[in-house]
C-alpha cells in the first residue's frame, strides 16, 4: 500500500478486472434475456410482418418444432404464414430462462432454456375457442455486430389443449 506499483495498486487492478468481467457477464445475460423477450413479443405484436426476423435471428437460423423444421428467414416466413392464416390472435408467454454463457469457453455463444406457453385464437369473436400449448425451448444464441441473435431454436411440446392447426401444419 506504500508504492503506486505495490500490493495496493495490484489489488485495485485485480478488482477492476474482476468487476469488468462481472459487468460483461451481467450485460450478456441482460442482452440474451431481452433477446428472448423480444422473440415472444414479436410473435404476437408483429405477427403480420416479417421485418422483425433480423432483430431476433441470424440469417441461417435453424428452428425445430414438433410439426417441422424451418431454416433461414425464408423458412421462418413460411412458418409465420401458417400461423397467421390459422390463428387471428396469439398470446405467448416465456419465463424461467436458464442461460449458460460461453460454452466451451466461446465468449460469443450462449445456450438458453426457457418455458413457453401460448394461446392461439382462431376468431376474435370467439376468444374462448382457443388452442393452447406449453413446453420449453432450447436455443443457441450468438453475439453478432448487431447484438445477440438466435442461431438454433428447438421447441419441445409438453402439453396442448383445444383444437390444433390441423393436418399439414
Rounded Cα gap, residues 5 and 10, in angstroms: 7
Please give the model's pTM, rounded to 2 decimal places: 0.86
The x, y and z cell numbers of residue 122, run together, are: 382462431
Rounded Cα gap, residues 38 and 92, in angstroms: 11
What digits encode the pLDDT tens for the residues 70-89? 999 888 888 888 777 889 99
Residue 166 pLDDT more than 70? no
The rounded percent of the chain whose pLDDT value lies above 90 is: 71
Structural domains in the chain, sorted by start: 7-161 (3.10.450.50)
**Structural contact between residues 68 and 100, judged by C-beta atoms closer than 8 angstroms:** no
What digits encode the pLDDT tens for the residues 141-159? 999 999 999 999 999 999 9
What digits encode the pLDDT tens for the residues 82-122? 777 889 999 999 999 999 999 999 999 999 999 999 999 99
**Mean predicted lDDT score pLDDT of the chain:** 91
Please spell the DSSP secondary structure of 48-63, one letter per residue.
Answer: T-STTGGGTEEEEEEE
CA-CA distances (angstroms) from residue 121 to 43, 134, 162, 167?
A: 13, 15, 10, 17
Q: What is the mean pLDDT of residues 7-15?
A: 84
Amino acid at each position: 500500500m506504500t508504492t503506486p506499483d505495490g500490493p495496493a495498486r495490484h489489488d485495485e487492478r485485480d478488482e477492476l478486472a474482476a468487476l469488468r468481467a462481472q459487468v460483461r457477464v451481467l450485460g450478456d445475460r441482460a442482452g440474451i434475456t431481452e433477446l428472448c423477450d423480444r422473440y415472444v413479443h414479436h410473435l404476437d405484436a408483429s405477427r403480420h410482418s416479417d421485418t422483425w426476423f433480423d432483430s431476433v435471428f441470424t440469417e441461417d437460423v435453424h428452428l425445430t418444432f414438433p410439426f417441422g423444421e424451418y431454416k433461414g428467414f425464408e423458412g421462418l416466413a413460411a412458418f409465420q404464414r401458417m400461423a397467421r392464416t390459422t390463428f387471428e390472435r396469439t398470446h405467448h408467454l416465456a419465463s424461467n430462462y436458464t442461460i449458460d454463457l460461453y460454452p466451451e469457453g466461446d465468449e460469443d455463444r450462449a445456450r438458453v432454456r426457457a418455458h413457453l406457453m401460448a394461446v392461439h385464437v382462431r376468431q376474435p369473436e370467439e376468444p374462448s375457442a382457443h388452442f393452447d400449448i406449453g413446453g420449453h425451448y432450447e436455443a443457441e444464441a450468438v453475439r453478432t455486430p448487431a447484438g445477440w441473435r438466435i442461431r438454433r431454436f428447438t421447441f419441445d411440446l409438453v402439453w396442448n389443449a383445444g383444437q390444433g392447426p390441423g393436418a399439414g401444419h
